[in-house]
């Protein structure tokens, strides 16, 4: 049985809130059924003293081991969000790769994928942190690192009356890790991709650290230096055995269509030719 991450919804959460101890959450995304990369990241996270792991989606799609990556995220992550590949798989499965995924995963795994939420809010060191796969209401709202700032800033808008703007917005989807600041008050970051990074042929993820706070503890924790507590965003790259993943993929029952392009992507860390109508 896989080792479980500390469960965020236990008395340990209350203990962190009461004692104001440092809290660390690992943000992973875009595994794309790359089991070797995910295992390497989880092994490294275990050495870092992390309290919680949150996955921003795309557990499946592209790679050869959706059964195993679903199970690993279910066992280790306190929350896993819906990604665009899960949405494609659930709503438009008429693609060779998705038909194959549906054939090999269990009914229970399929049900779990269909129940994934679109976003999650956290409160750390007085900051409201909104985590999504892409847009706050649309997993297909692609936001590129070089996109206009005005379009990026739209991600911070309230979703309904009374909704407090997030101070920090974190997402995945585009497979590039970066950080950007707006109006000296808002932070946008992308945690990169565990299984299909487009920067380096290594697994990428992020860690948020600070003091766990309640939603009622608003921005005073940022503005009041006497009450403020530290907050950090750290990006990490983890090397993994890419040749092992390539050999295992070639030996799997995964359909050949798109396989070689995907393997070239994980080997080089660069986009290949679009391998299906879903990327």
Beta pairing class for 119-124 and 232-238 = unpaired
- Answer yes or no: is pLDDT of 100 > 90: yes
Beta pairing class for 168-171 and 127-132 = parallel
b vs e for 124-144, b when ≥16 Cβ sit within 10 Å of the residue's Cβ?
A: bbbbbbbbbbbbbeebebebe
Give the tokens for residue 10: 């236990």
Residue 242 contacts residue 195 (beta carbons within 8 Å): no
pLDDT of residue 227: 66
Model pLDDT for residues 225-271, shown as the tens digit of each residue? 666 778 999 999 999 999 999 999 999 999 998 899 999 999 999 98
- Answer yes or no: is pLDDT of 6 > 50: no
Mean pLDDT rounded to a whole number for the chain? 88
b vs e for 218-256, b when ≥16 Cβ sit within 10 Å of the residue's Cβ?
A: beebbeeeeeebebebebbbbebebeebbebbeeeebee
Q: Where are the alpha helices (DSSP H) in the chain?
A: 11-19, 35-46, 66-76, 84-91, 96-104, 107-114, 149-153, 220-223, 242-250, 259-268
Average pLDDT over residues 21-32: 94
Q: Assign 10 a pLDDT band (cuts: 50, 70, 90).
A: very low
Average pLDDT over residues 127-137: 96
Average pLDDT over residues 17-27: 77
Distances (CA, A) of 47 to 26, 36, 90, 222: 12, 17, 35, 29
Average pLDDT over residues 95-118: 95
Q: Higher confidence at residue 185 or residue 171?
A: 171
Q: Higher confidence at residue 132 or residue 215?
A: 132
Domain ranges of the chain: 23-268
Q: What CA–CA distance (Å, rounded) separates 190 from 171?
A: 5
Structure letter (DSSP) for residue 59: -
Residue appearing with tokens 């799609």 = 61
- Answer yes or no: is pLDDT of 20 > 80: no
pLDDT of residue 193: 98
Q: Assign 179 a pLDDT band (cuts: 50, 70, 90).
A: very high
What is 23-268's CATH topology? Answer: Purple Acid Phosphatase; chain A, domain 2 (3.60.21)
Q: What CA–CA distance (Å, rounded) separates 51 from 37?
A: 21
Model pLDDT for residues 41-76, shown as the tens digit of each residue? 999 999 999 999 999 999 999 999 999 999 999 999
pLDDT of residue 195: 98
pLDDT of residue 78: 97
């Amino acid at each position: 049985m896989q080792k479980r991450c500390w469960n965020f919804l236990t008395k340990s959460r209350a203990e962190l809130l009461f004692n104001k101890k440092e809290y660390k959450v690992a943000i992973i995304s875009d595994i794309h059924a790359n089991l070797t990369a995910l295992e390497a990241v989880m092994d490294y996270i275990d050495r870092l003293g992390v309290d919680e792991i949150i996955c921003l989606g795309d557990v499946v799609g592209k790679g050869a081991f959706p059964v195993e990556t679903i199970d690993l995220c279910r066992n280790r992550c306190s929350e896993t969000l819906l990604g665009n590949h899960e949405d494609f798989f659930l709503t438009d499965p008429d693609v060779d790769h998705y038909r194959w995924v549906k054939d090999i995963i269990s009914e229970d795994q399929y049900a779990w994928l269909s129940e994934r939420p679109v976003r999650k809010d956290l409160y750390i060191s007085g900051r409201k942190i909104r985590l999504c796969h892409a847009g706050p209401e649309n997993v297909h709202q692609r936001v590129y690192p070089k996109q206009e700032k005005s379009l990026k800033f739209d991600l911070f808008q309230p979703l309904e009356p009374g909704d407090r703007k997030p101070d920090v917005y974190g997402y995945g989807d585009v497979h590039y890790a970066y950080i950007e600041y707006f109006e000296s008050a808002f932070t946008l970051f992308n945690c990169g991709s565990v299984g299909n990074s487009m920067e380096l042929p290594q697994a990428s993820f992020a860690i948020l650290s600070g003091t766990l706070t309640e939603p009622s503890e608003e921005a005073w924790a940022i503005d009041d230096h006497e009450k403020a507590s530290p907050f950090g965003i750290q990006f990490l790259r983890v090397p993994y055995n890419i040749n092992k993943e390539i050999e295992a993929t070639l030996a799997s029952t995964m359909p050949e269509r798109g396989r070689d392009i995907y393997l070239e992507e994980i080997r080089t860390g660069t986009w290949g030719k679009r391998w299906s109508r879903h990327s």
